[in-house]
């Protein structure tokens, strides 16, 4: 079949109908997700054992949500912001530091009747490139394009908020309908049905707003298409080209979709999946399959210091395979090259940010604090972290209140070694000291939910056993106000790590009791084993039996 072109497609277990080879003809290479850095060993052992894509693997956006006020007229949320899935549902790729790893997998076929698979010995080299799509905005149309894009983004954010509102209203409507159906007294029944009708009106109103918002998005998109036609703007496909004279320096440059040669574009290798001879049911026996590691960071930059990969751009992967007419040893030059064949690009993806909360929670770090009594018993001059101070180094000392006592410069060079336990204690002290100051200065109250302790420091408000609904009645909120305020005093009173009368006062006056109670419930649940779990998201794809 050497005279036929090749097609690089998804592995057979990702075809719509694995039993029908033609169903795989228009598929794209697949990106498979793993929890372990030994993903290559896992893939070779069982190519179909990889993690499912979850909602956390989609790009999320921050959007404002309508404020909800409590019994004291203050917000029932610590922040009127929501982190929701981007309506475009773009895939998010986590970083190696987030303990998520990825393989690019493709299968090579002859693009001929019957769609037969290519022979592995005919593949001279296989690999993939990572590209990005970008657009240059002409200065003359920048203002108009900015206004259109702003309108689209605002509408998309509004649509996300309406989707969330619709889910809450629908759930509440179902709850009320059940309550109305089971109401005993006639008066209670009438009241329950009245609430049901009210919520039906809310759901209907939200549906109308969602429809009008979608219509607005389509209108703005048509305006954007007209703008691109007017200014002759077209997306540009770019590949990465390394500078041969400099290490880890390169640049993005325009490339064709399917060039006849690589022309210096940076490539990542792909390797053949060779199934064990003893495993007759191995998935690799049913296709000419290649795989390679998807990069999330290479340390490469352009000449301006901009990283090759960041969390702002959209990337895509395209696989390629070179065919030779006469077999040769792997690694030796091909004396008889044939053609270069390209796959369709994968769906676009973005990289997670380094501080993505879902990502960083996958690889927790525990810093062991020193035992003060044990430290006192064994205290002796010892090596740790040494600071070499040249002459005229800054010298500063403080008093017991934290104020600067002396300030000057050293006259002689010296090397001071500080024990690791001492540095750890001081660093922890500084962190605990400034955390409440940062919260108070900038109003970052949500930071309270980013910390939980085992055993927990926060006491659950009396009578609160589950997360309190934001739509709870004012009377119900008033019933727990005293318990919530007592819990705030107990948590931020004297002797507590975050002791601060300012924090206690701000929580009581800036937020309704529901906001604080919900924060307490979340923090305590996390500290007692009902919070984050390292096994969250560890769910494997269902394996497909080859027909």
Q: Are 128 and 269 found together in one domain?
A: yes
C-alpha to C-alpha distance for 24 and 17, rounded to whole angstroms: 8
Question: Is 76 within the bounds of a domain?
Answer: no
Q: Number of helices (H) and strands (E) in the chain: give both, helices first.
A: 9, 19
Q: Are 42 and 162 found together in one domain?
A: no
| 278, two tokens | 């003893």
DSSP state of 353: P
Q: Are 252 and 124 found together in one domain?
A: yes
Q: Are 213 and 349 found together in one domain?
A: no
Beta strand extents in 180-314 (DSSP E only): 236-242, 250-254, 268-269, 271-272, 289-293
Please tell me the least confidently modeled range out of 34-38, 308-312, 414-418, 500-504: 500-504
* pLDDT at residue 187 in the model: 44
Q: Over 90: is that where the pLDDT of 156 sits?
A: no
pLDDT over 90 for what percent of the chain? 30
The residue from 230, 264, 297 where one domain ends is 230
C-alpha to C-alpha distance for 152 and 230, rounded to whole angstroms: 19
Residue 412 near residue 392, CB atoms below 8 Å: no
The residue from 191, 215, 230 where one domain ends is 230
Q: Are 277 and 176 found together in one domain?
A: no
* pLDDT at residue 177 in the model: 58
pTM: 0.76
Residue 263 near residue 254, CB atoms below 8 Å: no
Q: Can you name the residues that pair with 320 across neighbouring β-strands? A: 127, 342
Q: Can you name the residues that pair with 406 across neighbouring β-strands? A: 397
| 527, two tokens | 């500290």
Residue 264 near residue 241, CB atoms below 8 Å: yes
**Any residues with CB less than 8 A from the CB of 89 and at least 6 apart, and which?**
58, 59
* pLDDT at residue 438 in the model: 78
- Number of compact structural domains in the chain: 3
Distances (CA, A) of 157 to 63, 66, 339: 6, 12, 47
Question: Is 418 within the bounds of a domain?
Answer: no
Q: Are 146 and 262 found together in one domain?
A: no
Using one digit for the tens of pLDDT, what is the confidence trace for 336-386?
767 899 999 999 999 999 999 889 888 888 888 898 888 888 888 888 888
Q: Which residue has the higher pLDDT, 546 or 243?
A: 243
3-state secondary structure of 499: coil
**Any residues with CB less than 8 A from the CB of 479 and at least 6 apart, and which?**
463
CA angle 531, 76, 212 (to 5 degrees): 100
Residue 362 near residue 100, CB atoms below 8 Å: yes
Residue 527 near residue 453, CB atoms below 8 Å: yes
Look at strands 91-93 and 349-351 and give their pairing.
parallel
Q: Over 80: is that where the pLDDT of 323 sits?
A: yes
CA angle 89, 92, 97 (to 5 degrees): 165
**Any residues with CB less than 8 A from the CB of 452 and at least 6 apart, and which?**
523, 524, 526, 527, 531
Question: Is 123 within the bounds of a domain?
Answer: yes
Q: Are 244 and 221 found together in one domain?
A: no
Q: Which residue has the higher pLDDT, 191 or 428?
A: 428
| 359, two tokens | 């990502």
Residue 467 near residue 522, CB atoms below 8 Å: yes
Structural domain boundaries, residue 434:
424-530
Question: Is 241 within the bounds of a domain?
Answer: yes
Among the listed residues 361, 292, 353, the one whose alpha carbon sits nearest the alpha carbon of residue 39? 292
Q: Are 109 and 188 found together in one domain?
A: no
Question: Is 394 within the bounds of a domain?
Answer: no
* pLDDT at residue 462 in the model: 47
Q: Can you name the residues that pair with 128 across neighbouring β-strands? A: 268, 319
The residue from 209, 230, 251 where one domain ends is 230
Question: Is 289 within the bounds of a domain?
Answer: yes
Q: Are 203 and 340 found together in one domain?
A: no
pLDDT over 70 for what percent of the chain? 81
Among the listed residues 283, 278, 280, 269, the one whose alpha carbon sits nearest the alpha carbon of residue 42? 283
Q: Are 110 and 244 found together in one domain?
A: yes
Q: Are 433 and 526 found together in one domain?
A: yes
**Range 72-100 average pLDDT:** 85
Residue 488 near residue 498, CB atoms below 8 Å: no
Distances (CA, A) of 140 to 48, 134, 143, 235, 376: 51, 18, 8, 17, 71
C-alpha to C-alpha distance for 284 and 42, rounded to whole angstroms: 13
Question: Is 498 within the bounds of a domain?
Answer: yes
The DSSP element (H or E) to which 19 belongs, if any, is none
DSSP string, 88-119: T--EEE--GGGT-EEEEEEEEEESSTT-PBPP
3-state secondary structure of 203: helix
* pLDDT at residue 186 in the model: 45
CA angle 404, 410, 412 (to 5 degrees): 160
Q: Which residue has the higher pLDDT, 445 or 322?
A: 322
Q: What is the band of 499 on the pLDDT scale with cuts at 50, 70, 90?
A: low
Q: Are 211 and 270 found together in one domain?
A: no
* pLDDT at residue 517 in the model: 78
Question: Is 538 within the bounds of a domain?
Answer: no
The per-residue pLDDT of the chain, averaged, comes to: 81
């Amino acid at each position: 079949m050497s005279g036929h072109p090749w097609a690089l497609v998804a592995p057979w277990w990702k075809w719509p109908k694995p039993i029908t080879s033609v169903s795989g003809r228009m598929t794209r290479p697949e990106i498979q997700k793993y929890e372990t850095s030994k993903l290559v060993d896992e893939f070779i052992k069982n190519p179909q054992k990889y993690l499912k894509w979850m909602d956390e693997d989609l790009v999320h956006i921050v959007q404002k949500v309508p404020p909800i006020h409590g019994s004291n007229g203050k917000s029932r949320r610590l922040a009127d912001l929501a982190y929701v899935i981007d309506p475009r549902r773009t895939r998010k790729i986590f970083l190696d530091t987030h303990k998520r790893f990825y393989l690019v997998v493709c299968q090579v076929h002859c693009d001929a009747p019957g769609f037969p698979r290519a022979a592995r010995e005919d593949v001279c080299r296989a690999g993939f490139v990572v590209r990005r799509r970008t657009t240059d905005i002409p200065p003359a149309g920048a203002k108009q394009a900015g206004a259109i894009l702003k309108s689209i983004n605002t509408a998309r954010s509004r649509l996300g908020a309406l989707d969330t509102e619709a889910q809450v209203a629908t759930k509440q409507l179902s709850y009320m309908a059940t309550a109305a159906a089971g109401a005993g007294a006639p008066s209670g029944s009438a009241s329950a049905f009245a609430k049901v009708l009210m919520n039906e009106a809310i759901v209907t109103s939200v549906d109308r707003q969602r429809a009008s918002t979608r219509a607005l998005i389509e209108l703005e998109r048509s305006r954007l298409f007209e703008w691109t036609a007017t200014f002759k703007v077209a997306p540009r496909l770019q590949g990465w080209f390394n500078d041969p004279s400099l290490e880890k320096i390169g640049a993005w440059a325009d490339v064709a979709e399917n060039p006849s040669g690589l022309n210096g574009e940076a490539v990542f290798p792909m390797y053949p999946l060779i199934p064990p001879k003893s495993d007759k049911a191995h998935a690799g026996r049913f296709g000419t399959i290649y795989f390679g590691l998807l990069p999330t960071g290479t340390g490469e930059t352009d000449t301006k210091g901009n990283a090759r990969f960041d969390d702002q751009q959209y990337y895509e992967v395209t696989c390629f395979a070179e065919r030779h007419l006469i077999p040769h040893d792997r690694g030796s030059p091909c004396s008889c090259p044939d053609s270069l064949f390209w796959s369709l690009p994968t769906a676009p993806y973005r990289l997670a940010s380094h501080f993505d909360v879902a990502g960083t929670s996958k690889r927790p770090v525990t810093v062991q604090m020193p035992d003060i009594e044990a430290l006192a018993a064994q205290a002796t001059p010892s090596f740790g972290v040494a600071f070499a101070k040249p002459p005229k180094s800054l010298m500063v000392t403080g008093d017991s209140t934290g104020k600067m006592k002396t300030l000057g410069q050293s006259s002689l060079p010296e090397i001071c070694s500080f024990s690791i336990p001492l540095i750890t204690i001081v660093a922890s002290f500084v962190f605990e000291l400034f955390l409440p100051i940062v919260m108070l200065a900038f109003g970052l109250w949500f930071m309270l939910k980013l910390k939980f302790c085992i055993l927990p420091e926060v006491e659950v408000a009396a009578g609160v056993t589950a997360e309190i609904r934001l739509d709870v009645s004012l009377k119900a909120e008033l019933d727990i106000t005293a318990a919530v305020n007592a819990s705030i005093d107990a948590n931020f009173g004297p002797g507590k790590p975050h002791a601060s009368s300012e924090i206690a006062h701000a929580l009581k006056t800036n937020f309704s009791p529901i906001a604080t109670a919900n924060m307490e419930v979340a923090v305590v649940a996390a500290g007692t084993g009902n919070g984050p779990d390292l096994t969250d998201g560890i769910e494997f794809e269902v394996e497909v039996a080859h027909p």
